[in-house]
Amino acid sequence: MSKLSDKLLRGEKVITAEMCPPKGTDFSAFIKNANAVRDLVTAYNVTDNQRSVMRTTPLAASFVLLREGLEPIYQITCRDRNRLAIQSDLLGASALGVENVLALTGDHVVSGDYNPAKSVFDLDSVQLLYTMSVLENGLDLSGKSLKGTPKFFSGAAVTPAASNVEIHIWRMQEKIRMGAKFFQTQVLFDRNILTRFMSETKHLKTKIIAGVVLVKSAKMAKFMNDNVPGLVIPDWVIKELSSTEHEMEAGIRIAAHLAKEFLDIADGVHIMAVHEEHRLPEIFKQIY
């Protein structure tokens, strides 16, 4: 059993941190940043070509964390792989010792730096979760038997701040039916939205980890509002960042404040430092 699943199933609060694999083969900074908070983080969410920007495979990055004695959450998206490749990667992850898997549909390639690339989307996130459950039952999607079966702690994403949140809750039910054991939310800035969402999903009896992002400047906030689908950074955040010469410090303070609030409401928090992973110790210092 993974440390993440053990803690969540025992009702303990968890903190996860997002780690972006390097654009290249040098993992030195990746390893240093992960080790800097190893005593504070339950597991590290390893991104999969996030926002369609090419980086080293999260499968290799997850193995690097395991080699360091750290626990990964392996992100796998449907954007770049058909069902053959998805099954191969999942089996490979299990063979390497990866248990936690976050199933995502994935950002469309138009959001990244590889516009000529073709999206695959042979499966979506619900079908990906189903694929994982089939593999866990000793079969592949064609019905053929496996030699050795994987065991996953399967997770998925959800957007509590969506205007059509009822549809997202319905999708949560489908994902749970297909095997999802926990959910990581998209970025949140409002404790009232999270509180209401936790109440509306209480009957699902699942674990929810609330997403917190480090917004390092007002310029970044405006860029994210304009370019990241489904993300809205509120005016109060932009105003607070704009009112100081030390925007990074203000962003760290905001992230830590939200994380402390959300820990009282959800089953844990997920910290996204967005290529500023070396700042994680500063955030954690203000959380604890």
Per-residue pLDDT reduced to its tens digit, 142-179: 999 999 999 999 999 999 998 899 999 999 999 999 99
CB 153 within 8 A of CB 181: yes
pLDDT per residue over 90-124, tens digit each? Answer: 999 999 999 999 999 987 777 677 777 888 999 99
pLDDT score of 171: 96
Show the CA angle centred on residue 235, arms to residues 229 and 236, nearest 5°. 130
H-assigned helices in 178-267: 191-200, 218-227, 235-242, 247-263
CB 275 within 8 A of CB 22: no
**Beta strands at 268-272 and 182-187: parallel, antiparallel or unpaired:** unpaired
Tokens, residue 230: 């489904």
Q: Does the pLDDT of residue 184 top 80, yes or no?
A: yes
Average pLDDT over residues 176-191: 97
Share of the chain above pLDDT 70, in %: 99
pLDDT band at 134, cuts 50/70/90? very high
Average pLDDT over residues 123-145: 98
Q: Does the pLDDT of residue 69 top 90, yes or no?
A: yes
pLDDT score of 112: 72
pLDDT score of 254: 97
Q: Is 3-287 a domain of CATH 3.20.20.220?
A: yes
Tokens, residue 167: 């549809």
Helix (H) or strand (E) holding 72: strand 72-77
**How many Cβ atoms sit within 10 Å of the Cβ of residue 26?**
10
Tokens, residue 55: 């980086």
pLDDT per residue over 237-275, tens digit each? Answer: 999 999 999 999 999 999 999 999 999 999 999 999 989
Average pLDDT over residues 185-205: 96
pLDDT score of 106: 87
Q: Does the pLDDT of residue 183 top 80, yes or no?
A: yes
Query: In whole numbers, what is the pLDDT of the chain averaged over residues?
Result: 95
Q: Does the pLDDT of residue 40 top 90, yes or no?
A: yes
Q: Does the pLDDT of residue 3 top 90, yes or no?
A: yes
pLDDT score of 226: 86
CB 19 within 8 A of CB 58: no
pLDDT per residue over 41-63, tens digit each? Answer: 999 999 998 878 899 999 999 99
Domain boundaries, the chain: 3-287
Q: Pick the residue with more confidence: 140 or 1?
A: 140
pLDDT band at 129, cuts 50/70/90? very high
Which pTM does this prediction carry?
0.94
Tokens, residue 60: 């290799």
